Amino acid sequence: MLLRQKINLLVPREFSGRAYFSACREFLRQISSGDQTQSRRQPIFLARSFDQQPCSQELHGVIAKLKTIRQRILANTLLRRWTKWFVWMLIALIAVAAVITKLAGALFFIAMVAAVGAASVLVWTWRNRPSRYETARRLDSAAGLRDRVSTAIYLGGIADHDGMIGEQRRDALAHLVKVDPRGFFPLQWPGNARRAFVLVLLAAGLFAYRIHHQPPLISLLQTTARSQLVQSILSPIVHAMEKDLQRTVALVTMKPEATGEELQRSDAVSSSDDLWKADDKAAGAEAQKDAADAGEGDQPQDQLQAPGSQEGNPSGDARQDSNSQSQEGKSGNESADDKSQEQSEQQGPEGRQSLGQSLMQALKNMMSNSPNQQANNRAAQKPSGQGTPQSGNSQQPGATESDKRGESRGNSDAKQKATQTASEGAGSQQGSKELRKDQESHPVNAVPDRVALEASGFKEQTRMKVATETGTAQLADRGLSPQQDAVVNGAEQENIPARYRFYVQRYFEHTDNGKH
Amino acid sequence: MTSSVGTEGQAGGQPLGQQAEFLAEKMAEVRGEISKAIVGQAEVVDGVLIALLAGGHVLLEGAPGLGKTMLVRTLAQAVAQKYSRIQFTPDLMPADVIGTSVVQENGDGRKSLGFQPGPIFTNLLLADEINRATPKTQSALLEAMQEKQVTVAHTSHLLEEPFFVMATQNPLEMEGTYPLPEAQLDRFLFKLRVPYPGREDLHDILDRTTQGTPATVSPVVNGTQILEMRKVVRAVPVAPHVQEHVVKLTLATHPENRENLLASKYIRYGSSPRGAQTLILGGKVRALLDGRYNVSMEDIRALILPALRHRIILNFEAQADGRTPDDLLEEIAGKICAK
């Protein structure tokens, strides 16, 4: 802005490169030579010219004292500025030593910058050193001389022995004798000297450490990356990503038509509802058999996973399921069919009762989104997932090949477990199945449209699209939004209040009990 | 080296240094004489003496009964000068102040218009409650205060030097008053506020005025000596940084400069160059009264309020915010000193 004004003063109507150059040159010339107008605004700079002018003999003693004071002021200023610059260089050194592996080049560069900076500080300080007049002003201010010395220095070139100036000069000298001017300007350490000392110690320690070690910041980063804290922070994120991946794979590999048929078959068999209990009972035996069936092909996968995650995380089951589906051969499928038959024979009234409880628990889990209940749900799923990592897998291929009753039970069981492990809750699938059964028994009036909506707060749940008019359910449509479903069913409200959910839950429970 | 400092070696036959010492001694004596009649009010007395030696006039503002009139009368006795008092009222006319031409009959019976001087033809004039007169009458003082002369019927009449006006105004009873116009306010060197006396001073006042006879004030200096002192005052040197400080102070009261945020917000009209002149002249007198031969920054800071408080006109926003000229000037001075 200042430059533009100067250009406008020089060349009012045009703004060419030549005008710009001349304005820059004029500006630099004024800076280098010290413009008179600027000096008039700053009389202190003008007073520097008094350093070169002869002074009265009476003031020689004062000038000698002022010279000493000026040297001390200059020394203090240099010390302060150099310390400040030194602190910045030390910070740079510490940063370099903490990060950079090869120090030679960086140290050379920092040394060069430090030397240039120190020289610049020296030149700048010397160029802006206080003049004799400025020093006298500081002395007046420090010693309380009420501008006597500065006025005397200002008028030092005037010979007026008997006049007012001579009186003033003598008055200044008389008052200056009473004080010790050097005592007001001692050489003192700068304020940030302590900080610089601490940084020197830190830098020395860091370089001593660097003699035999690599940069500490890099080491710290590596150690942190390996630490359990970071693992504990990152593992849930990794698991969540794995779950999403598994869910996607399950949705892609699963055919909707086959799923519908499987559901119909599983609904047709009344005793297939309580396969969970049977699975729990047969978990130990299946684990042994699966270990034998899996052979060498499944073993590396089990070894890759940490024991804790394999036991506690149901997603590990699903991953193993999908992998084993692709790896196991036909023999494995046949053996799985046999197992499912055995399981169906072992089911009884206790199994039904436990399934009802499981359904209730799943519904409760579905309704609430609290982490405690999810944790309980995981804990409840632990035994089945822990002991039978591949049982569901071995049963699932048989579901597509055979049409027997026992096989269909096995299919439904495998499907339930796969979906359950993928969704961490298993409540959605079970609840959907119950819903569908209720829809079959009460096709029109039993279930209102809103009941067909799923719990919206349960984010990790795999959503099912249930067509109330046909009574069929389509599994695992992740992209299905509740809003779309609500629009299809004629209900515009997506979020069902909690009291209505409990009402629906109790309604299902009542209907289920009445049916059985 | 160019300098605005007067370098004449002698004035009045003696070296300036000796005259400066003489001034300091005599003014200390005058102060002592005044203190016989006036208890306390040291700042007001110093301000009056500074204005007297600087060649200016003083506007005293204070409640009734604080000794304003007595101060002027005592000062007149101490400096041995003629003294007159004008009680300003709404029906006072300019001719009542400066005088008028009347028909006079000479010895041979011929009649002619002759000038009859008013009470303004004196050395020390007390314009009591000046704000009760109409602006027309107030403006009659303008020429006298600035030019030291009055003009009646195309004839100018010089006033006798030293001419020193001390006007008083009462800040309490503002009904029926005419505030002084800015032009006339600017002609007063200082505007001094006369405070209430303190506890000790009040005891002293009671002792002096209710027991015995009033103290007699002796003359210390005469008019000629005062004029010589005024010349000495002008010879006091001023360092450039002190003068720069005065210039900064004066410019900082100007609302036109957008850098002066405080002035732009609260001040309608800033100080005139008379304000800067007052600061320098008053600083010189103050330095001499303090036994110094140079003006210091402390002198300037001590005179900021009496020299500038009546030269800045506040705007409506300042009045709405309850700001006074004194606190604005102190704030401005603080900012400039901090730079």
* Secondary structure of A119-130 as H, E, C letters: HHHHHHHHHCCC
Q: In this complex, do A163 and B296 lie within 8 Å of one another by their Cβ atoms?
A: no
Query: Dmax of chain B from CA atoms?
Result: 74
Residue showing tokens 């040297």: A71
Gap between the Cα atoms of B175 and A29, Å rounded: 63
Using 50, 70 and 90 to split pLDDT, how confident is the model at B185? confident
3-state secondary structure of A456: coil
Under 8 Å between Cβ of B54 and B274 = no
Segment A24-31 shows an average pLDDT of 65
Phi, psi of A388 (to 5 degrees): -120, 70
Segment A285-300 shows an average pLDDT of 46
Using 50, 70 and 90 to split pLDDT, how confident is the model at A327? very low
The confidence score (pLDDT) of residue A215 equals: 82
Considering only CB atoms, B7 lies closest to which of A46, A148, A160, namely A160
Closest-CA residue to A307 (of A221, A389, A408, A416): A389
* Residue A30, min C-alpha distance to chain B (Å): 22
3-state secondary structure of A470: coil
Share of residues in chain A with pLDDT > 70 (%): 41
User: Is ipTM over 0.90?
Assistant: no
Q: Spell out which residues of chain B touch residue A137, defining contact as CB-CB under 8 Å.
A: 241
Tokens of B8: 């004449």
3-state secondary structure of A474: strand
The confidence score (pLDDT) of residue A228 equals: 74
Tokens of B46: 């110093």
Gap between the Cα atoms of A434 and A432, Å rounded: 5
The confidence score (pLDDT) of residue B50 equals: 93
Q: Is pLDDT at A67 greater than 60 in this prediction?
A: yes
Segment B81-97 shows an average pLDDT of 88
Between A289 and B141, where is the model more confident?
A: B141
The confidence score (pLDDT) of residue B201 equals: 86
Tokens of B156: 């100018």
Strand partners, B193: B61
Number of H helices, E strands in chain A: 25, 2
User: What single letter denotes the amino acid at residue A364?
Assistant: K
Instruction: Report the residue of chain B nearest A137, measured CA to CA.
Output: B241
Q: In this complex, do B292 and A163 lie within 8 Å of one another by their Cβ atoms?
A: no
DSSP state of A52: T
3-state secondary structure of A472: strand
Find residues 52-111 of chain A whose CB sits inside 8 Å of chain B.
Answer: 53
The confidence score (pLDDT) of residue A32 equals: 57
Q: Spell out which residues of chain B touch residue A144, defining contact as CB-CB under 8 Å.
A: none
* Residue B317, min C-alpha distance to chain A (Å): 32
pLDDT digits (tens, 9 = 90+) for A197-251: 999 999 999 888 888 888 888 888 888 777 777 778 878 888 888 888 888 888 8
Using 50, 70 and 90 to split pLDDT, how confident is the model at A516? low
The confidence score (pLDDT) of residue A97 equals: 86
Is residue A466 within a helix (H) or strand (E), and if so which, with residue range?
strand A465-467
What mean pLDDT value characterizes chain A?
64
Interior/surface letters B1-33, b for 16+ CB within 10 angstroms, e for the rest: eeeebbeebebbeebbbebbbbbbebbeebbeb
User: What single letter denotes the amino acid at residue B325?
Assistant: P
Q: Spell out which residues of chain A touch residue B302, defining contact as CB-CB under 8 Å.
A: none
Mean pLDDT lowest among A294-298, B114-118, B151-155: A294-298
Using 50, 70 and 90 to split pLDDT, how confident is the model at A190? confident
Output the CA angle B155-B161-B163, nearest 5 degrees.
90
Q: Give the 3-state DSSP-derived string for A261-318, with helices as H, strands as E and coil as C.
A: HHHHHHHHCHHHHHHHHHHHHCHHHHHHHHHHHHHHHHHHHHHHCCHHHHHHCHHHHH
Dihedral sign for Cα A127, A129, A130, A131, please.
Answer: negative
Residues contacting B201, CB < 8 A, separation 6+: B39, B40, B41
Q: In this complex, do B1 and A164 lie within 8 Å of one another by their Cβ atoms?
A: no
Under 8 Å between Cβ of B160 and B122 = yes
The confidence score (pLDDT) of residue B11 equals: 46
Q: Spell out which residues of chain A touch residue B244, defining contact as CB-CB under 8 Å.
A: 43
Is residue A473 within a helix (H) or strand (E), and if so which, with residue range?
strand A472-474
Considering only CB atoms, A147 lies closest to which of B5, B8, B294, namely B294
Residue showing tokens 């150690």: A223
Share of residues in chain B with pLDDT > 90 (%): 21
Under 8 Å between Cβ of B89 and B130 = no
Segment A102-107 shows an average pLDDT of 83
The confidence score (pLDDT) of residue A321 equals: 44
Using 50, 70 and 90 to split pLDDT, how confident is the model at B9? very low
Strand partners, B152: B155
Q: Is pLDDT at B32 greater than 80 in this prediction?
A: yes
Query: Dmax of chain A from CA atoms?
Result: 134
* Residue A171, min C-alpha distance to chain B (Å): 7
Q: Is pLDDT at A269 greater than 80 in this prediction?
A: no
Is residue A194 within a helix (H) or strand (E), and if so which, with residue range?
helix A193-210
pLDDT digits (tens, 9 = 90+) for B215-261: 788 888 888 889 988 988 988 989 888 999 999 999 999 988 877 78
pLDDT digits (tens, 9 = 90+) for B286-333: 999 988 899 999 999 999 999 999 999 888 988 888 898 999 999 998
Strand partners, B168: B60
Instruction: Report the residue of chain B nearest A163, measured CA to CA.
Output: B9
Between A466 and A126, where is the model more confident?
A: A126
Interior/surface letters A378-411, b for 16+ CB within 10 angstroms, e for the rest: eeebeebbbbbbbbbbbbbbbbeebebbbbbbbb
pLDDT digits (tens, 9 = 90+) for A108-136: 888 999 999 999 999 998 888 888 888 88
* Number of CB atoms found within 10 A of residue B243's CB: 18
The confidence score (pLDDT) of residue A494 equals: 55
Using 50, 70 and 90 to split pLDDT, how confident is the model at B63? confident
Q: Is pLDDT at A364 greater than 60 in this prediction?
A: yes
